[in-house]
Amino acid sequence: MQHDKILILDFGSQYTQLIARRVRELNIYSEIHPFNKLPSKIADYKAVILSGSPMSVRSKEAFHPDLSEIRGKKPMLAVCYGAQYLAHFSGGKVAESNTREYGRAKLSFVDKNEPFLEGVNEGSQVWMSHSDTIKKLPNKGMLLASTNDVENAAYKIEDEATYAIQFHPEVYHSTDGKKILENFLINIAHVNPDWTPDSFVEETVNGLKQQLGNDKVVLGLSGGVDSSVAAMLLHKAIGENLYCIFVNNGLLRKNEFTDVLEQYKGMGLNVKGVDASARFLDALSGESDPERKRKAIGRVFIEVFDDEANQIQDVKWLAQGTIYPDVIESVSATGGPSATIKSHHNVGGLPDFMKLKIVEPLKALFKDEVRRVGASMGMEKQLLGRHPFPGPGLAIRILGDITQEKVRILQEVDAVFINGLKEAGLYDKVWQAGAILLPVNSVGVMGDERTYEKCVALRAVESTDGMTADWVNLPYEFLQKTSNDIINKVKGVNRVVYDISSKPPATIEWE
């Protein structure tokens, strides 16, 4: 089945991924491409959205997209930088704002006869994020909306399906933002909203059957959402020809290796558990540098995985749980304007000695879509709702060198914290949580005895994609009980602290 597609041109805005996700929430498939790397077949896209940007259209370095195959030929929505670009280079005027226009604003004027703004009223809250402002509309520009401080907050081009807005409809703070996108995409561009989790599963499974045939595929399961959903899609397509390997690196949560392995087998997957704990801990012995710890774990994982894959005769494919944000960030690193947040182990290929082709069934999905696809296949909520867990596991939550005793302590602390969140009904309100073993001892008193034991930090954050995160204001009563439980139940710990840093400036993990 061929779905209507939306093209989003990225000019480096921190909100570009949000545009794509809002469009996907309307059951419409969207793709992000750098403004200077347009797809070869523009005709394949039903409409185009131009993103915002940290760049000024007035600067010599202003980003210039090639709109010759788009403007006037396809419905187009220009957001923030896009709106300024159309104005500045089409007979209008853009100037520096007297003050930086950032944050909440309310529409003071709305053209109620305009289908683009149907259902949007004066007083509707929008989110502004710009330092330039449109002083004069472009040729044939028609004003559609204003705020008290921004006269030209929205406009259209006469005789074209071209619309422009100074604010960001993709941000949650724009209360009617989703409605505006719906008006543009469905009512004006006539896009068919038929891209659903069920249709994704059906089409992906059929595509995998054609792509893989009777070939054997090997997949490294991590216990996380992405690899688990990828495994179920492949299992539906090729059944026993999917060989799953679940490696215990000795740095998983308490009892996680046995518990998750049993859960996978209960899902009908052809899975082999490999306990390589000793091998990983040997490789980490005496190592305290965070980056070298990560590289040691990555190296050993590939070695263990390769050993196991070589025991499967005639395996031809490696399946990976790569998701769309990984792909976007990797593309941006090679020419797109968005700042690269991190490199991704899932993107960029394999070591030369692993002669396998890659299959990535989730590479078109965002994390929240992966969960919805898993739910549509009947996967357990417990698995789909699992918090993200770092690939290197507890190694980067033990600051300093790694020992078996430190792993034991942190596993026990983590179990008290995570189980406590579940028992208190708080687990699903937190995006990610964990404990960090600090490289310091502190003085304490237990009974009549002086102690000199470890300090642990608890971390809980709320986020949508991990790119930004706020610390969670957990109830004092919960923190008090958790601290008491940890100190009383975990031998070797006498002090508990709570991390109240947000990202940025801090990161979610400590290493």
The answer to whether 80 is a known catalytic residue is yes
Cβ atoms of 47 and 189 closer than 8 Å: yes
Cβ atoms of 373 and 365 closer than 8 Å: yes
- Cα first-last separation, the chain: 45
Of 168, 182, 244, 412, catalytic: 168
Helix (H, G, I), strand (E, B) or coil at 251: coil
Which class for 313: exposed (0-12), middle (13-18), buried (19 or more C-beta within 10 A)?
A: exposed
Of 88, 101, 130, 170, catalytic: 170
Tokens representing 273 are: 């558990």
Q: Whole-angstrom Cα distance, residue 78 to residue 163?
A: 6
Q: Whole-angstrom Cα distance, residue 451 to residue 441?
A: 9
Cβ atoms of 94 and 101 closer than 8 Å: no
Q: Whole-angstrom Cα distance, residue 153 to residue 114?
A: 14
CB neighbours of 169 closer than 8 A, spacing ≥ 6? 22, 79, 126, 176, 177, 178, 180, 181
β-pairing verdict for 493-498 and 29-34? unpaired
Catalytic residue IDs: 80, 168, 170
